[in-house]
Structure 1
Amino acid sequence: MPTAVIVAHGQPSEPDPAEASLARLATQIDQLTDRVTVRSATLAAPGALEKVLDDIPDGSAIYPLFMAKGWFVTSALPKRLEGRAVRQLDPLGVDPQLPNLVARALRPLIDEQGWSTTSTDLLIAAHGSGRSRNPAAVTHEFADRLAGLISLKSIRCGFVEEAPSISDAAKMTGDHAICLPFFACTGGHVLDDIPAELGKAAFRGPVLPVVGELDEIQSHIARTLDGAFAD
């Protein structure tokens, strides 16, 4: 059976928990595929990617679980793959189906709250960057496309590493507000920084799982990996 490897950044300061979390996600996606065996590795765990690459057949696919097609996807990961008979797919964050899938995840949550879409503010909590405009640009492009699919009261973006901060953006939302962590995986920013920022703003709305852990997204990743070997 063909093999696909889901690769994420991981957490350099504490690589093991992120490696284990990604492995659990890969197992869940593996159960949803029809024709692919799904493995995983983070870039941060020393030797983890190379160990998996040594163990998979030629022609395997590498799926970058990243929200932007930035340096890690275009430079760091390809360098680690040099000389390997594998092919790198596009990352999750640039998937054209992403806004539609998130819209599908939002509607039932809004209904559960007893709200209407037009009374609901969405706070997108993203990473951003103090060095590159690309991560924020990807986030804003996603927000613009999402706005064309679901009629929300507002969509506001806040960032961990640039302005506006998540807390400043959260303060602009009303009583009917949902937070979407625009991250591929659960890590330190999601577990620590986002809750702290929401606390500063006294944000009390529901917080969705990170994008990569939404049920709709996991099913879509499984279909994408199956499709990579459709022929």
Structure 2
Amino acid sequence: MPHAIVVAHGQPSDPDPAEAALAAFAAKVDALAEHVTVSSATLAKPSALEAKLDGLPENSVIYPLFMAKGWFVTSALPKRVGDHTARILDPLGIDPDLPALTANALEAKLREEHWAANATDLVIAAHGSGRSRNPSAVANEFADRLGMQVAFQSIRVGFVEEPPSIAEAARDASNQAICLPFFACTGGHVLEDVPEELERAKFKGIVMPVVGELAPIQRQIAQKVTEAFASA
């Protein structure tokens, strides 16, 4: 059976919990992917990706669970893949369908809360970077395209590693507000930095799961890895 590996960054200081969390994520995608076996590996777990690739056929594919096509996807990941001929697909964050699929999840939350979009503020909490403009450009483009799908009262984007901060973006948001963490996985930034920034802003709204864990997105990943073999 064709095989796909979902690869994420992981947590270098303590790789095992993130490795286990990604394995659970991959199991959900595996259940949604027809005729493709899906497993996982983090870059932070020493030799995890290499060990996985050693047991897989040459036509395997790698799905980067990253929000930008930056250094990790274009340099670190290919270096770790080495001579194996596994194909590296485009990362989650630049999937052209991502804004529409995320809009579906946000509209479902609005219906659940009985909120009108045009009376609701959306705060997008993203990673950003102090070294590259690419991550923030991806997040801002996502926000622009999302705004074409759902007419929120406002859409504000804040970052962990560059201005404006998440606290600045969330400040003065109404109580009828949603925070969407623009992250692929629930890691340290989502568990620590985002809540701290929202607390600084006295944010009173709802916090959604990270983009990568929204149900429509997991189905999309399953579809992408399946299509990769169909196109080949």
- Measured against the shorter chain, the TM-score band is over 0.9
Distance in 2 between residues matched to 1:112 and 1:175, nearest whole Å: 16
SS at match of 1:102: helix
Structure 1 stretches of 4+ with a deviation exceeding 2 A read none
Structure 1 gap ranges (5+): none
Question: What is residue 129 of structure 1 aligned with on the other side?
Answer: 129
Question: What is residue 96 of structure 1 aligned with on the other side?
Answer: 96
Question: What is residue 106 of structure 2 aligned with on the other side?
Answer: 106
Query: Following superposition of structure 1 onto structure 2, how do residues 27-42 of structure 1 map, counting pairs within 5 Å?
Result: 27-42=27-42
Question: What is residue 72 of structure 1 aligned with on the other side?
Answer: 72
Question: What is residue 221 of structure 2 aligned with on the other side?
Answer: 221
Distance in 2 between residues matched to 1:91 and 1:172, nearest whole Å: 33
Question: What is residue 187 of structure 2 aligned with on the other side?
Answer: 187
2:173 counterpart of 1:173? yes
- How far 1:172 moved relative to its partner? 3.5
2:46 counterpart of 1:46? yes
- How far 1:168 moved relative to its partner? 1.0
SS at match of 1:228: helix
Structure 1 vs Structure 2 CA RMSD: 0.8
Distance in 2 between residues matched to 1:187 and 1:156, nearest whole Å: 22
Which amino acid letter does the alignment assign opposite residue 222 of structure 1? Answer: A
Query: Following superposition of structure 1 onto structure 2, how do residues 76-87 of structure 1 map, counting pairs within 5 Å?
Result: 76-87=76-87
Query: Following superposition of structure 1 onto structure 2, how do residues 156-171 of structure 1 map, counting pairs within 5 Å?
Result: 156-171=156-171
Which amino acid letter does the alignment assign opposite residue 98 of structure 1? Answer: L
2:116 counterpart of 1:116? yes
Which amino acid letter does the alignment assign opposite residue 21 of structure 2? Answer: S
The percentage of aligned residue pairs carrying the same residue is 62
Q: What's the CA shift string for 1:6-49, capped at 9, x where partnerless?
A: 00011111111111100000001000011100010000111111
- How far 1:214 moved relative to its partner? 0.3
Q: What's the CA shift string for 1:117-150, capped at 9, x where partnerless?
A: 1011110000001111110000000000111111
Structure 2 gap ranges (5+): none
SS at match of 2:149: coil
Distance in 1 between residues matched to 2:213 and 2:114, nearest whole Å: 24
TM-score (ref. length: structure 2): 0.98
Q: How many residues align?
A: 231
TM-score (ref. length: structure 1): 0.98
Which amino acid letter does the alignment assign opposite residue 85 of structure 2? Answer: A
- How far 1:108 moved relative to its partner? 1.4
SS at match of 2:226: helix
SS at match of 1:90: coil
**2:124–2:155 contact (8 Å) kept in structure 1:** yes
Question: What is residue 20 of structure 2 aligned with on the other side?
Answer: 20
Question: What is residue 212 of structure 1 aligned with on the other side?
Answer: 212
Distance in 2 between residues matched to 1:222 and 1:59, nearest whole Å: 17
**2:171–2:203 contact (8 Å) kept in structure 1:** yes
Distance in 2 between residues matched to 1:175 and 1:209, nearest whole Å: 18
Distance in 2 between residues matched to 1:114 and 1:211, nearest whole Å: 22
Distance in 1 between residues matched to 2:150 and 2:80, nearest whole Å: 39
Distance in 2 between residues matched to 1:219 and 1:39, nearest whole Å: 15
